[in-house]
């Protein structure tokens, strides 16, 4: 039988890049997780753990260049570098998907649609050379838009990629790193960087460590270890953005009345009555009077697969909404989620991330997970409803017993040793203000009217964002001092 | 050891789930951990159990039942979820189809092999485990009774009744004396007994049943129920719960609250001081339960002196009713040796008037004074048939001021209907809803007072059907609408209609024709009255 000739056309490349990565912020996730995976892989293969492993992201807006660089071991030889840089969709990480984050091998070119030139630079320790692989983004787009051009995928790649080896400076011989450089990045990226919440979005998305100041982290990590039988630190890497360390922004002020509650999430119990397969650990915290008052980037339950964000703040509501068992309206559920903080830390060999990494591929296993999430939303929503009736000022319509039942169904009072009497105390108001909640206006213009303060805060947030962007934080502080002085004298 | 979760869907019901209570007895005898939950247990709880049993009751609770079972199927493998009980027996195929599960068990559990066990225990014959009822906060209105069967099944084959499917064979069951003794021994005395037989008058053992009941203290005109000591019952209950590894914090809290309340009842100075000391000891102890057990005898001794101990009559309730056709004077003579309350009789067709009257007279002549009548309607009967039955029952009670009697009109629905929407051949939607409104006002019962009856149901067929045609709000708040002249207005407009128009009006009220099709001015005028609510009436009256 003659061998069939199969042609993979050029638009395939377009499909896997543009379509999968239509939001450019995703590329940061892809490159950071590649660095983390590469380090884990090296360690798994016997290398020593690099203690100060980190990824640094540097943005040069003047030259429209982004550099994402790690100080990992890099790829050991020029041959394997070339091979790895030119393969698409074969990550070599399939062996055990609970051990590594990436598994498709296409994330590497996620930056291609958004820049003129995408360069991977590799330096192994004790090597005298630096390997370089450049993908010409502009040529790539030109070829795609040229309707008449033919050619299959490999031909195109061959035309737009160059591989090169350069001699490293002698003093750098012992250094090792891997860097990704995006030159001439597009306006889409510029818009992403200009977003006031860019840093927060990045923090939410990346596989980062918890802030040192967050005491709850110890509990979460040890509980994760005892349930999942693995260290979540494996999926955490220090990242710096323009010199500033990024950490998950939870701190102790995030921990509300309930303290941190855990749900151990498993798949459906099995036929032989053994427990279902472990899916992950859910931790959450909420106030006794569960209200929708959270407007930061952290509200809701953030689902993370191997510590990388899946979906967003409202994902739990979306999951419950699409479940066949009705909880309540979508809007109600998103409001409810604004009253909690938490994460669902997943690592399961039975769940496959969908290519966009916003949820898991639909199958029996993800259905089990969706059922647990729906159940969680049902209990949370019921508690919110119950608490709003119980804490309603003037004419509470729910009794303490009603509240207790709803709470018990959500958190199991006994197992979590919750003192219900303090939890259900009505006269908690006024809510004590956490020190971190002090606004700029309270500091700068403490004697002005509320309206004035409110407007000041809105405006100053924008101004702060601007100064941070041009990296003139000191200037911003000077401005604030000037304003404060002005109002004081007035 | 298995961990067993027993579930009843979260509908409102009066009687506790007897099937689950037997399953609890079975599993506890195997040292399994058992817990009862009403409704959907939270995920974190469900995950701890190996096996789930869901009971089912009325077929019209189909939706909530299916929803509940689905919840458990979401988290537990379908082979470890079992659905059984009445609705599951009647609608087995429908449950299997909708839930895509195989363990839907029809009929009684005569052998544990139906659950996959090999010890061949007749679970249906096991004693009830009352302790599971303390796992939930739901309060079963009839929970604190002795429940038992002396026979199963009913040889009659009434089309409207499910017993022929649920219990296809008529037969005698286990010993009454031993069962009652076992319950008292374990849970403390209970005053009344509910006998759940479907047609006990068929039993050749009736005489023996009565003798047995006498033997265990159910004797006519004999006050011999002295209540129980709450402290003793609760401490024993807590001890049992500890042995089951069940949560007992609620019971302990209730007991402590009781002990504190009890303090007020003590009058003697010395005793009050001694009690206060005991209480102080319990309150200050690190483990209040251990402390209570340590002074158990003292607490029981003191509370025993002051608790309500007046002896009361014990009653027997043949809960599923007595077949009027089989109630001979001879049988009544047996039955008169026990106090029956209420005496439940069915009066399903106006044509059965003689039979009903004979049964009533027999019971009355043997001293029965509490009657409860079940009247089926919306079956093959016509609306007026119901009025006739209600009326003749009330006439029967005339001149017997010592009789207490209630009639319960029971709306027919086919035994396999999954909702309550069925409309009988001679009935219509408006009439059914009107009956619903009338009996809702009195919580489902029709009392024996004649004046009330005529006011509520009319003096004759014409008035009765007229009332059924009235706006619901007029029926519900008859007096109010009468005072404001609306009732007279409605009557006047109604009487203005000819036969054809009245039929049209009824069709409109049943929703079978649209308003646009009603062109007659007269009809439009009367229809206006149907939108006046009580609220609107009061507002209007306030403005005038």
ipTM of the complex: 0.80
B44 interfacial to chain A (CB closer than 8 Å): yes
A379 chain-B contacts, CB cut-off 8 A: 42-43
- Please give the domain boundaries of chain B with CATH numbers for all domains: 1-136 (3.40.50), 245-306 (no CATH), 470-544 (no CATH)
pLDDT in tens, B297-310: 999 999 998 888 99
B32 interfacial to chain A (CB closer than 8 Å): no
DSSP letters for B9-73: -S---SS--HHHHHHHHHHHHTT-EEEEEES---HHHHTT-SEEEEEE--GGGHHHHHHHHHHHH
B47 interfacial to chain A (CB closer than 8 Å): yes
pLDDT score of B319 more than 90: yes
Given a contact cutoff of 8 angstroms between Cβ atoms, the answer to whether B168 and B120 are in contact is: no
Closest A-chain CA to B79: A271
A276 chain-B contacts, CB cut-off 8 A: 47, 75
Among the partner-chain residues A269, A372, A410, the one whose CB lies closest to the CB of B77 is A269
Chains A, B: CB pairs < 8 Å: 55
Cβ of B75 within 8 Å of Cβ of A371? The answer is yes
Residue B342 preceded by cis peptide, ω within 30: yes
B10 chain-A contacts, CB cut-off 8 A: none
Among the partner-chain residues A263, A276, A325, the one whose CB lies closest to the CB of B44 is A263
Is residue B544 very low, low, confident or very high in pLDDT (cuts 50, 70, 90)? low
B67 interfacial to chain A (CB closer than 8 Å): yes
The distance of B113 to chain A (nearest Cα, Å) reads 17
Closest A-chain CA to B41: A409
Q: Name B355's Cβ contacts closer than 8 Å, sequence gap at least 6.
A: B324, B325
Among the partner-chain residues A269, A325, A379, the one whose CB lies closest to the CB of B70 is A325
pLDDT recorded at residue B57: 96
Q: What angle do CA A35, A41, A43 make, to 5 degrees?
A: 105
Among the partner-chain residues A268, A325, A412, the one whose CB lies closest to the CB of B44 is A412
A371 chain-B contacts, CB cut-off 8 A: 74-75
B77 chain-A contacts, CB cut-off 8 A: 268-271, 273
Closest B-chain CA to A273: B50
Cβ of A325 within 8 Å of Cβ of B71? The answer is yes
Task: Look over chain B and give the mean of its residue pLDDT values, rounded to a whole number.
Answer: 93
Structure tokens at B62: 């189909």
pLDDT recorded at residue A94: 53
Closest B-chain CA to A402: B137
pLDDT in tens, B76-107: 999 999 999 999 999 999 999 999 999 999 99
Tell me the C-alpha distance between B89 and B65, whole Å: 13
pLDDT recorded at residue B502: 94
pLDDT in tens, B152-204: 999 998 999 999 999 999 988 878 999 999 999 999 999 999 999 999 999 99
Among the partner-chain residues A264, A268, A401, the one whose CB lies closest to the CB of B75 is A268
pLDDT recorded at residue A148: 61
B50 interfacial to chain A (CB closer than 8 Å): yes
Cβ of A412 within 8 Å of Cβ of B67? The answer is no
- Please give the domain boundaries of chain A with CATH numbers for all domains: 11-195 (3.30.565.10), 216-423 (no CATH), 438-489 (no CATH)
pLDDT score of B540 more than 70: yes
Cβ of A269 within 8 Å of Cβ of B247? The answer is no
Cβ of A263 within 8 Å of Cβ of B50? The answer is no
Cβ of B80 within 8 Å of Cβ of A269? The answer is yes
Cβ of B42 within 8 Å of Cβ of A269? The answer is no
Instruction: Output the 3-class SS for A118-129.
Output: EEEEEECCCCCE
B245 interfacial to chain A (CB closer than 8 Å): no
Cβ of B75 within 8 Å of Cβ of A375? The answer is yes
Cβ of A275 within 8 Å of Cβ of B47? The answer is yes
The distance of B335 to chain A (nearest Cα, Å) reads 45
Run of H or E residues at B542: helix B534-543
Tell me the C-alpha distance between A316 and A374, whole Å: 8
A375 chain-B contacts, CB cut-off 8 A: 42-43, 71, 74-75
B77 interfacial to chain A (CB closer than 8 Å): yes
Cβ of A372 within 8 Å of Cβ of B75? The answer is yes
Cβ of B42 within 8 Å of Cβ of A412? The answer is yes
Tell me the C-alpha distance between B108 and B55, whole Å: 12
pLDDT in tens, A120-165: 999 988 888 999 999 998 888 787 777 666 667 778 788 889 998 9
Cβ of A269 within 8 Å of Cβ of B74? The answer is no
B247 interfacial to chain A (CB closer than 8 Å): yes
What is the residue-level pLDDT of chain A in tens, covering all 490 positions?
Answer: 556 777 766 667 666 666 666 688 989 999 999 999 999 999 998 889 999 999 999 999 999 999 999 999 998 888 888 888 887 776 655 557 788 887 767 788 888 888 999 999 999 888 889 999 999 988 887 877 776 666 677 787 888 899 989 888 888 888 899 999 999 999 999 999 999 889 999 999 999 999 988 989 999 999 999 999 999 999 999 999 999 999 998 888 888 888 899 999 999 999 999 999 999 999 999 988 888 776 677 899 999 999 999 988 999 999 999 988 888 899 999 999 998 999 999 999 888 888 777 899 998 899 999 999 999 999 999 999 999 889 887 777 778 888 999 999 999 888 888 888 888 887 644 444 444 557 888 888 888 888 888 889 889 888 988 888 887 888 888 888 888 888 877 6
B137 chain-A contacts, CB cut-off 8 A: 401, 405
Long-range contacts of range B442-449, CB-CB < 8 Å, 24 or more positions apart?
Answer: B444/B408, B444/B409, B445/B406, B445/B407, B445/B408, B446/B390, B446/B406, B446/B407, B446/B408, B446/B409, B447/B405, B447/B406, B448/B393, B448/B394, B448/B397, B448/B403, B448/B404, B448/B405, B448/B406, B448/B407
Cα separations in angstroms, A140 against A116, A133, A146, A161, B42: 9, 15, 10, 9, 54
B2 interfacial to chain A (CB closer than 8 Å): yes
Picking from B71, B94, B91, B90, the residue whose alpha carbon sits closest to that of residue B81 is B71
Tell me the C-alpha distance between B253 and B276, whole Å: 18
Cβ of B77 within 8 Å of Cβ of A368? The answer is no
pLDDT score of B281 more than 50: yes
Among the partner-chain residues B2, B42, B70, the one whose CB lies closest to the CB of A409 is B42
The distance of A152 to chain B (nearest Cα, Å) reads 47
Among the partner-chain residues B50, B70, B249, the one whose CB lies closest to the CB of A273 is B50
pLDDT in tens, B487-526: 999 999 999 999 999 999 999 999 999 888 888 999 999 9
Q: What angle do CA B76, B43, A220 make, to 5 degrees?
A: 120
A266 chain-B contacts, CB cut-off 8 A: 47
Question: Could you tell me which residues are beta bridge partners of residue B193?
Answer: B146, B316
Cβ of B80 within 8 Å of Cβ of A273? The answer is yes
Among the partner-chain residues A264, A325, A379, the one whose CB lies closest to the CB of B42 is A379
Is residue B542 very low, low, confident or very high in pLDDT (cuts 50, 70, 90)? low
CA atoms A457, A463, A469, A470: torsion sign: negative
């Amino acid at each position: 039988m003659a061998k069939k000739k199969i042609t993979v056309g050029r638009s395939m490349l377009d499909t896997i890049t543009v379509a999968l990565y239509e939001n450019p912020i995703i590329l940061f996730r892809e490159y950071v997780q590649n660095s983390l995976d590469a380090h884990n892989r090296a360690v798994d293969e016997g290398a020593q753990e690099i203690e100060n492993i980190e990824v640094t992201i540097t943005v040069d807006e003047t030259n429209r260049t982004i550099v994402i660089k790690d100080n990992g071991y890099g790829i050991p030889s020029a041959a394997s570098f070339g091979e790895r840089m030119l393969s698409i969709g074969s990550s070599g990480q399939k062996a055990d998907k609970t051990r590594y984050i990436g598994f498709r091998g296409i994330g590497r070119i996620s930056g291609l649609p958004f820049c003129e030139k995408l360069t991977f630079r590799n330096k192994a320790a004790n090597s005298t050379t630096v390997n370089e692989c450049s993908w010409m983004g502009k040529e790539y787009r030109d070829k795609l838009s040229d309707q008449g051009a033919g050619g299959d995928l490999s031909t195109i790649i061959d035309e737009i990629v160059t591989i090169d080896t350069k001699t490293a400076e002698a003093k750098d011989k012992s250094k090792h790193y891997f860097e990704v450089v995006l030159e001439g990045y597009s306006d889409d990226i510029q818009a992403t960087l200009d977003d006031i919440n860019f840093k927060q979005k990045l923090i939410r998305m990346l596989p980062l460590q918890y802030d040192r100041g967050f005491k709850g982290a110890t509990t979460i990590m040890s509980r994760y270890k005892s349930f999942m039988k693995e260290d979540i630190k494996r999926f955490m890497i220090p990242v710096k953005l323009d010199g500033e360390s990024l950490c998950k922004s939870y701190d102790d002020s995030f921990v509300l009345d309930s303290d941190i509650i855990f749900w151990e999430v498993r798949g459906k119990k099995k036929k032989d009555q053994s427990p279902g397969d472990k899916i992950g650990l859910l931790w959450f915290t909420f106030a006794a009077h569960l209200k929708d008052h959270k407007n930061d980037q952290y509200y809701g339950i953030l689902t993370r697969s191997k510590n990388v964000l899946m979906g967003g703040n409202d994902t739990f509501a979306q999951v419950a909404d699409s479940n066949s068992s009705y909880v309540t309206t979508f809007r109600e559920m998103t409001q409810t989620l604004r009253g909690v903080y938490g994460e669902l830390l997943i690592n399961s060999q039975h769940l496959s991330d969908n290519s966009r990494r916003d949820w898991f591929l639909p199958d029996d296993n993800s259905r089990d997970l969706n059922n647990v999430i729906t159940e969680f939303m049902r209990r949370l929503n019921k508690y919110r409803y119950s608490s709003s009736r119980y804490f309603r000022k003037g004419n509470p319509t729910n009794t303490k017993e009603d509240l207790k039942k709803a709470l018990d169904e959500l958190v199991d009072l006994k197992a979590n040793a919750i003192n219900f009497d303090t939890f259900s105390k009505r006269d908690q108001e006024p809510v004590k203000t956490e020190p971190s909640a002090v606004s700029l206006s309270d500091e700068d213009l403490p004697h002005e009217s509320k309206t004035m303060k409110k407007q000041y805060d809105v405006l100053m947030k924008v101004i702060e964002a601007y100064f941070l962007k041009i990296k003139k934080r000191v200037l911003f502080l000077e401005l604030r001092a000037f304003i404060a002085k002005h109002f004081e004298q007035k | 050891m298995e961990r067993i979760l027993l579930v009843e869907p979260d509908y409102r019901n009066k009687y506790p789930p007897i099937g689950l209570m037997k399953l609890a007895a079975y599993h506890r005898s195997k040292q399994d951990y058992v817990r009862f939950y009403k409704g959907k247990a939270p995920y974190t709880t469900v995950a701890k159990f190996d096996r789930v049993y869901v009971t089912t009751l009325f077929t019209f609770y189909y939706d909530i039942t299916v929803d509940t079972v689905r919840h458990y199927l979401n988290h537990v493998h379908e082979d470890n979820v079992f659905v059984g009980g009445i609705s599951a027996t009647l609608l087995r195929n429908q449950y299997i189809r909708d839930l895509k599960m195989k363990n839907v068990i029809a009929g009684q559990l005569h052998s544990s092999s139906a659950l996959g066990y090999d010890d061949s225990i007749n679970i249906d014959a096991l004693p009830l485990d009352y302790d599971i009822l303390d796992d939930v906060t739901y309060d079963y209105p009839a929970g604190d009774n002795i429940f038992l069967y002396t026979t199963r099944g009913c040889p009659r084959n009434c089309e409207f009744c499910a017993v022929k499917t649920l219990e296809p064979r008529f037969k005698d069951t286990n010993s009454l004396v031993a069962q009652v003794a076992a319950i008292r021994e374990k849970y403390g005395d209970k005053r009344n007994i509910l006998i759940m037989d479907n047609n006990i008058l068929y039993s050749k053992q009736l005489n023996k049943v009565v003798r047995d009941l006498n033997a265990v203290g159910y004797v006519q005109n004999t006050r011999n129920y002295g209540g129980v000591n709450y402290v003793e019952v609760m401490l024993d209950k807590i001890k049992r719960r500890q042995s089951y590894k069940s949560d007992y914090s609620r019971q302990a809290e209730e007991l402590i609250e009781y002990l504190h309340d009890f303090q007020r009842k003590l009058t003697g100075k010395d005793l009050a001081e001694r009690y206060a000391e005991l209480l102080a000891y319990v309150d200050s102890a690190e483990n209040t339960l251990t402390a209570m057990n340590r002074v158990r005898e003292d607490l029981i001794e003191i509370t025993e002196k002051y608790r309500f101990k007046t002896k009361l009559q014990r009653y027997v309730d043949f809960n599923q009713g007595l077949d009027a056709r089989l109630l001979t004077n001879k049988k009544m003579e047996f039955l008169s040796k026990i106090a029956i309350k209420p005496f439940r009789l069915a009066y399903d067709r106006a044509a059965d008037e003689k039979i009903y009257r004979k049964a009533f007279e027999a019971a009355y002549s043997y001293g029965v004074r509490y009657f409860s009548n079940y009247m089926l309607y919306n079956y093959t009967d016509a609306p007026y048939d119901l009025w006739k039955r209600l009326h003749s029952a009330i006439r029967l009670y005339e001149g017997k001021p010592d009789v207490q009697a209630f009639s319960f009109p029971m709306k027919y629905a086919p035994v396999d209907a999954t909702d309550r929407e069925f409309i009988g051949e001679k009935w219509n939607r408006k009439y059914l809803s009107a009956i619903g409104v009338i009996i809702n006002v009195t919580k489902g019962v029709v009392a024996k007072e004649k004046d009330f009856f005529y006011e509520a149901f009319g003096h004759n067929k014409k008035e009765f059907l007229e009332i059924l045609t009235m706006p619901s709000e007029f029926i519900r708040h008859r007096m109010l609408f009468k005072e404001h002249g609306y009732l007279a207005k409605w009557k006047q407009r109604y009487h203005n209609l000819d036969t054809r128009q009245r039929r049209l009006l009824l069709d409109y009220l049943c929703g079978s024709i649209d308003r646009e099709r009603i062109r007659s001015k007269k009809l439009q005028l009367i229809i206006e009255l149907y939108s006046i609510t009580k609220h609107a009436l009061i507002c209007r009256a306030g403005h005038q």
